[in-house]
């Protein structure tokens, strides 16, 4: 939820606070979650260490984009900003889906 709120506010600050920007941010979040589940299901991933690193790197990239004022206000810049700001959801979805189930108590 925090990443979703961050994506909406950053995209709103960068490109104007419209319903279209909010719809793009929410659609990007849903697409990233769907892709993460699809990749885990299709590839049967098991190791999570590299995905923790990619999660951290995507958080740093999102922080950099947020503090530098975003990417240029072109179509590719808007798509890139949406991808960078929602990419942590992709890697966290992979990490969450590949964790072993908790042991029963």
pTM above 0.85, yes or no: no
Is 80 exceeded by the pLDDT of residue 82?
no
The predicted model gives 56-67 an average pLDDT of: 88
The predicted model gives 66-88 an average pLDDT of: 81
Is 90 exceeded by the pLDDT of residue 53?
yes
The predicted model gives 43-61 an average pLDDT of: 86
Q: Which is it for the CA torsion 68, 72, 76, 79, positive or negative?
A: positive
**Residue written as tokens 């530098």?**
68
Highest-pLDDT range among 14-18, 32-36, 71-75, 99-103: 32-36
**Rg value, the chain, Cα:** 15
Q: Sorting pLDDT into bands at 50, 70 and 90, what band is 86?
A: confident
Q: Tell me what pLDDT residue 60 has.
A: 93
Q: What is the DSSP letter of 14?
A: H
Q: What angle, 0 to 180 degrees and rounded to 10, lies between the N-to-C axes of helices 2-15 and 19-43?
A: 140
């Amino acid at each position: 939820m925090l990443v979703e709120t961050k994506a909406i506010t950053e995209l709103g600050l960068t490109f104007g606070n419209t319903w279209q920007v909010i719809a793009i941010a929410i659609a990007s979040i849903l697409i990233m979650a769907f892709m993460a589940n699809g990749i885990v299901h299709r590839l049967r991933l098991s190791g999570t260490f590299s995905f923790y690193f990619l999660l951290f790197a995507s958080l740093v990239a999102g922080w950099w984009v947020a503090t530098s004022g975003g990417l240029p206000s072109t179509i590719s810049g808007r798509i890139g900003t949406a991808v960078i700001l929602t990419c942590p959801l992709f890697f966290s979805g992979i990490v969450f889906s590949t964790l072993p189930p908790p042991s029963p108590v």
